[in-house]
Structure formats: structure tokens, C-alpha cells
Amino acid sequence: MSPHLQPLAVYPGSFDPLHMGHVDIVHRAVRLFPGVLVAVLANTEKKPLFSAEERVALIQQTFLQYPQVKVTSFSGLLVDFMRVTGARVVLRGMRVVSDFEYEFQMALMNRRLCPEVETVFLTPQEEFTYLSSRLIKEIWTLGGDIRGLVPPPVQAALEQKRGTSP
């Protein structure tokens, strides 16, 4: 393999919960990189719907058919985690213009903290651009139908949380 090719891309995020926008980004990433590591941020300030362990398990179940997709959790600075993994590519999804400012700031800050790391942005299929974990949680909390917007393991876990599982 050429020394210029990057063997691993890290896709960090809260993924609380994983939805089809995230899944779409991972599907695109596996066509570009030999390995994709989905990294669940554990030290979020907000009280999460799913614990970091639950989120890792749900993402693992979703990508069972993809041996090149690995999942782990991390806390602290992303650049420190990148150093531990030895990976040099951070993957981020870019949905809409409003994502740009925050993502751009993060990419430049991460570059300042660790110049070897590059941030790569991927865009999802249009039908997933309006999805966010926050919106999924809001709709779900209010009893709305989120089928097709989250992968089956997440759908099942949400139904179980609500106690409506058969």
C-alpha cells in the first residue's frame, strides 16, 4: 500500500442515537477507506438518552455485516484519541450550510492542536440531510413515527425504552 493512503478514518460524534444520516456517511466512508472507526463521544455534558456503552452496542449491531467498521467510545480531546489510534483522518458529515461554521471551526482547531490530522467532510443523500439526533429524540419523545429514519437496532432499542416492544 502506498504510504500516502490512510488505512483508518475516525468518525467521531455523540450518535445519541445513530440515525440514517450517520449510517449513510459510514456507507460512503467504507468505499473510501479500508477501515472506519466510529468513535462515540462519552463525555458529553447533556444527559444522553443512551449510555456510551449502549450507543457502541447499537452501532456495532447496525454494522455487523461490515467487518471493516469498528466501534469504540472515547472521552477527552479528539486529537488525543487520534494520537492513540494512530489515525490521521477525521470524518465528519456536512448536512446543511448551518453545519459549516461549527465544523469549520472544529476542523481548524483540531489542525492547530494536531497538524498531522486532516478532517474530511462527506455529504449524505439529500433525503437524510434534515436528520439530527436531537430531532429524532424530540419526535420519538412526542410519540411520532421514526421508522426508516433510524437503523433497525436503534428502532428496537427505542421501542424497548418506551416499553412498547412485543
Q: Which stretch binds ligand ADP (CB under 6 A): 10-18, 48-56, 67-75, 137-145?
A: 10-18
61 binds ligand ADP (CB under 6 A): no
Footprint of ligand ADP on 21-60 (CB under 6 A): 21-22, 25
The reply on whether position 95 binds ligand ADP by CB under 6 A is yes
Contact status: 93 vs ligand ADP (CB under 6 A) = yes
- Which of these segments, 67-75, 76-84, 130-138, 139-147, binds ligand ADP (CB under 6 A)? 130-138
Angle, helix 78-85 to helix 97-113, in steps of 10 degrees: 60
Residue closer to ligand ADP, measured from CB, 14 or 110: 14
Residues 6+ apart with CB under 8 A from 48: 14, 16, 55
Contact, 10 vs 91, CB < 8 A?
yes
Kindly tell me which residue out of 9, 10, 13, 58 binds ligand ADP, with binding defined by CB under 6 A: 13
Query: What is the rounded distance in angstroms from the CA atom of residue 127 to the CA atom of residue 57?
Result: 26
Could you confirm whether 95 is annotated as catalytic?
Answer: yes
Q: Which amino acid is at 136?
A: I
Nearest to 119 by CA among 87, 80, 73, 158: 87
Q: Establish if 128 lies at the interface with ligand ADP (CB under 6 A).
A: yes
Site for ligand ADP contains 151 (CB under 6 A): no
Task: Tell me the C-alpha distance between 87 and 2, whole Å.
Answer: 15
**Active site members:** 22, 46, 95, 133
